[in-house]
Chain A
Amino acid sequence: MRPTAQFNLFTTLMMLALQMLPINHAIANDLLRGPYLQNQSPSELTIRWRTSQAVNSRLWWGKNQGELTHQSGADSLTTEHSLTITGLTPATVYHYAIGYDQTLLAGNDPTHFFTTPPMHGETSPVRFWVLGDSGTGNNDALAVRDAYLQYSTQQPTHLWFMLGDNAYPLGTDEEYQSAVFDMYPQILRQSTLWPTIGNHDAANADSVTGTGVYYELFTLPHQANSTGHGIGADSGTEAYYSFNYANIHFIILDSDETLPSFRQAQLDWLQSDLMLNQADWTIAMWHHPPYTKGSHDSDIESRHLHMREHILPVLESHGVDLVLGGHSHSYERSWLIDGHYGHSNTFDTDHIVNDGSGNPHIDTAYVKPPAGVMSHQGTVYVVAGSSGKTSSTQGVAHPAMRNIEALRELGSMVVEINGLSLTAQFLRADGQIEDLFTVIKNDALFNNSFDD
């Protein structure tokens, strides 16, 4: 749209107003939480924060720091602020500030910015961080965080995930404050956090009704298809949801809730969502992993069994590439496998699609057909629940997993996707890379067939 004289006047006035903002800088403890980014799509973003006193909500943003030419707000007085920006340009960096009236609480500085995702289906590089069971709020969680920040200097975090048990022990608001909001302030204000509910979070939340602390804290895409967050189906709930980022379709499930009607609704939705999905990559995550012999045993505990027996067949028939879970406070990683839905003693070599390491520095990357959604071409399963603590293991490896035994090392996952190549790494709290695997969607037949 061509700028009008009226728009220029508005812009000038806004810039003048913003220049005055630092003069009115509020006392530090006015801002109790955030800002934190939520529910991002190529054109939309929700920014949330908490203040100590009920005030109105103001948000300024623009493409350059110091030139926050756009403003939105809500006049109702509240301590829980949530504003959604619409009409953003995909794949663009924006700077922002939050406050009330004309008072700046945070932002308009080099640390408050966000980058919008590219349009769905585009193949730009994507880098995301995955934390599992990080909610201890202690020095272990701090070490995992610092290792990632150190490792990621000069590299973007486009989005990040929590695999559940985000705040110990009972997922209360106070526990979330110390384990999440006080622990990751920098990443929270620059990259959108996509959470998963764990059993500890569920102690103060009800997934069936979508109420409780977890659901109050996060804004999640329950109408992802309708609102342009994804190409799939609306889940109609924040307990499980999907969204797209570039050429990736992310699916976040609730493995904790056991009510049969809830489980059936989740399964029905998953089938619809995957039927409509056409992304190059499909990545699913939930708290209770289908294969683990870490601090939990997927042969015994009912939630693991349910996910393995009922969810995995659907995911694999729609070509899921990577499945991430936590709950066991260790690191475990499978070969490229397919079709194993029983107890560990029924796993055999027929279930292994590729028995290599997947690490191109050791042998070769895992290769899958190039088309986005092809059934039963193999999936890598990861347990990464040691971002806040480690615990004792079962003492034996799950046969689906490459590890000799579940690895009791603090750490987190760093995943990079560039076009049709995915590389995932387990980054230890001491900064070392413990495991690396690459999946490439390409094959010799495809290359030869289309050479001409």
Chain B
Amino acid sequence: MYQPHYRLGFLRYLLLIWMCSCALLASAHPDLNSRQHHLEQLQQTTGQADWIFAKAMLYADSDHPGLALEVLKTLTDKTVTDPKSNFRMARLYLRLKQPDLARKYLLNHFKKFPNAQPDITISTHILLAEIAVRQQHPQTAVNHLNQALMLNPELPAHLYVLTIRAMSMANYAATEVFETLKTGLIHHPGYLPLLELNIQQAMTYSDPCIIDQAIEQLLKQYPRHPNWQNNSGRSTR
């Protein structure tokens, strides 16, 4: 049977929780207080999962990991059907300095969403590579970066540099590194770190012609580069 006073009690309970949350927010950090309005706006205008993640990230960014985790507990199975969810959880746990947990969520993405859109899959690979580099697993990093670059070779240039550095750490053969460099330079012909890695790599061949070619390639893009512009007859020096 419907009991009006039960409903009233429940509303009072909700009101109390809301007031406590506000007080907690205000006391936790003055900056959070000013963003309370924004959080309310988020709650009104976006889906539940979006709001929860945004709120949790807000706490994480403001160095309140405990509050962020409390917010995450309110996620239900229904809200994590979004393919972005695992990635977002991973980003959050990475912010909270829990890379192992972040890695689990990222791997879960591949298990749960094998046919997800390439963008989110690429982002997942990149984040797994980032964690692998931090945990001194360069081979794992190379595998993930290569998969991301295969899905989209036009990804930002620094990801090629990251791949090449991880390949060097994993003791890849010079020819394999050179191939990745070549591909990177096709998509980013004017990216200085790649052009300079190209020169470094050419030096491993000890062939003056290859070194000269690599330097010419850089000077074609940056004729005024102070470190290289006066390098005439460079390979013979």
Contacts and interface: CB of A to CB of B under 8 A. Distances in A.
Interface of A is mostly: loop
B221 A265 contact: no
- Residue from the set B34, B63, B126, B221 with the largest chain A CB neighbour count within 10 Å: B34
Nearest to B84: A204
A174 B223 CA distance: 44
How many A residues are at the interface, by size bracket?
35 or more
Interface string A300-316: 11110000000000000
A371 interface: no
A211 to B, nearest CB: 4
A262 interface: yes
A199 B156 CA distance: 20
B188 A297 contact: no
A94 B20 CA distance: 59
B231 to A, nearest CB: 16
A239 B61 CA distance: 20
A392 B45 CA distance: 23
Nearest to A216: B119
A295 B34 contact: yes
B230 interface: no
Interface string A348-366: 0000000000000000000
Given A225-B221, A301-B62, A272 B192 contact: yes
A251 to B, nearest CB: 15
A269 B161 CA distance: 12
A252 interface: no
Contacts of A394: 30
B226 A206 contact: no
Contact of A259 (B33, B35, B130, B157): B130
Contacts of B50: 170, 203
B34 A237 contact: no
A276 B42 contact: no
Interface string B198-225: 0000000000000000000000011011
Contact of A296 (B31, B133, B222): B31
A405 interface: no
A199 B157 CA distance: 23
A208 B34 contact: no
Nearest to A224: B190
Given A259-B130, A272-B192, A169 B162 contact: no
Contacts of A301: 31, 61-62
B188 A392 contact: no
Contacts of A233: 190, 192, 222
B157 A170 contact: no
5 closest Cβ pairs, A-B complex: A236-B157, A265-B158, A226-B190, A237-B156, A234-B190
Interface of B: 29-31, 33-35, 37-38, 41-42, 45-46, 50, 54, 61-63, 95, 119, 122-123, 126-127, 130, 133-134, 148, 152, 155-159, 161-162, 188-194, 221-222, 224-226
29 contacts: A169-B45, A199-B61, A206-B119, A206-B123, A209-B159, A222-B156, A222-B157, A223-B188, A225-B221, A226-B221, A233-B222, A234-B157, A234-B190, A234-B191, A236-B156, A236-B191, A262-B158, A265-B156, A265-B162, A265-B193, A276-B225, A295-B35, A297-B30, A301-B31, A302-B61, A303-B61, A391-B34, A391-B37, A392-B33
